[in-house]
Amino acid sequence: MNVLVRFATMADADWCRSCDSRMSSELVQRKILQRELVIVEANDNRIGVLRLGFLWSTLPQIELIWVEKQHRRGGLGRTLLKFVERSLGEQGHKILLSSSQADEPASQAWHRAVGFRECGFIAGVNDNGVGEVFFLKRLS
């Protein structure tokens, strides 16, 4: 499989929005301009996206990692993460934050497997009162 990771462009806007319908068209466009959406392609087809945000406008945080179901568990999430880590490191960032719902043990296991460590918890912030587990990874 020929894999390419790159920052999203305006040509990717509709596809990115289809991956997360909670994002408005305006938000997708802003994230593209700010280089906060990263695409993974396989054989020239978009199959995954990583969305970044910045806590307090300074601390990078993964807001979403999504890979098409048939391509999961093949290392593409790690590939997206490595691209983002390298880019953030080049910008001088020292840490990367992420989170997972408390009722998603597989997501939490993935975070730990790729080098994140648990750093906090907020109770009841998701649907049905589910909490959110926060993770931190030091960038080298």
For the chain, how many structural domains are there in total?
2
56 three-class SS: coil
Residues 34, 83, single domain; the answer is yes
**Amino acid (one-letter) located at 61:** Q
Residues 75, 116, single domain; the answer is no
Residues 78, 17, single domain; the answer is yes
Beta-strand ranges (E) seen in the chain are 3-7, 37-42, 45-55, 59-67, 95-101, 117-122, 132-138
Q: pTM score, two decimals? A: 0.91
Instruction: Quickly tell me which residue has 């880019």 as its tokens.
Output: 87
pLDDT digits (tens, 9 = 90+) for 86-139: 999 999 999 999 999 999 999 999 999 999 999 999 998 888 899 999 999 999
Residues 9, 48, single domain; the answer is yes
126 three-class SS: coil
Residues 85, 114, single domain; the answer is no
**CATH assignment at residue 17:** 3.40.630.30
Structure token pair of residue 26: 């305006």
